[in-house]
Amino acid sequence: MDTSCIFCKIASGAIPATFLHEDDAVVAFGDLNPQAPHHVLIIPREHVVSLASATDGHTEVLGRLLRVAAEIAERLGVTDSGYRTVINTGPDGGQSVFHLHVHLLGGRPLAWPPG
Ligand code: DGP
């Protein structure tokens, strides 16, 4: 745990949040600044700064993040309409919180390419 990391504090329960999913490795909660009717963040409990700093040792949890995203999408009822999963990495990727997270966005058509 990185005591200065907001997502570590959420994952540990130090900052209260409503989890849409929690298990030993992963938690999911709503984005503070939603960009779609459904906007969920899925994060590892472990403090991993970004996708760029993940290692082969994180292969299982990386897969788990995506499986949990698909399970939540199913529960939210957006599997058929579709949704987007995004991992922003580093400055050009638009990453603003330096704890690896997958965005799950759904509930409206999403433009491509992104800005
Ligand atoms: P990114 O730009 O990819 O690093 O996305 C970070 C997201 O995290 C952004 O959409 C806003 C969200 N966020 C930042 N701080 C908090 C917080 O304290 N709680 C929640 N739920 N979301 C947060």
Flag whether 115 is in a domain. Answer: no
Question: How remote is the CA of residue 35 from the centroid of ligand 1, in Å?
Answer: 11
Question: What pLDDT, on a 0 to 100 scale, did the predictor assign at position 1?
Answer: 82
- Spans in the chain with pLDDT lower than 50: none
Query: How many angstroms separate the CA atoms of 24 and 103, rounded?
Result: 20
CATH number of the CATH domain containing 18: 3.30.428.10
What is the per-residue pLDDT for 29? 98
101 catalytic? Reply is: yes
Determine if ligand 1 sits within 6 Å of the CB of residue 88: yes
Strand order in the sheet with 26-30: 19-22, 26-30, 38-44, 102-106, 83-86
Q: Whose CA is nearest to atom 18 of ligand 1?
A: 6
Counting ligand 1 atoms within 8 A of each CB, the residue from 32, 48, 101 with the most, and so the one to mutate, is 32
Residue 115: its pLDDT value, please? 83
Distances, alpha carbon 88 to alpha carbons 25, 50, 51, 92, in Å: 20, 8, 8, 8
Asked, for residue 113, whether it belongs to a domain, the answer is no
Is residue 75 in some structural domain? yes
Domain that holds residue 19: 6-106
Secondary structure (3-state) at 42: strand
Q: How many domains does the chain have?
A: 1
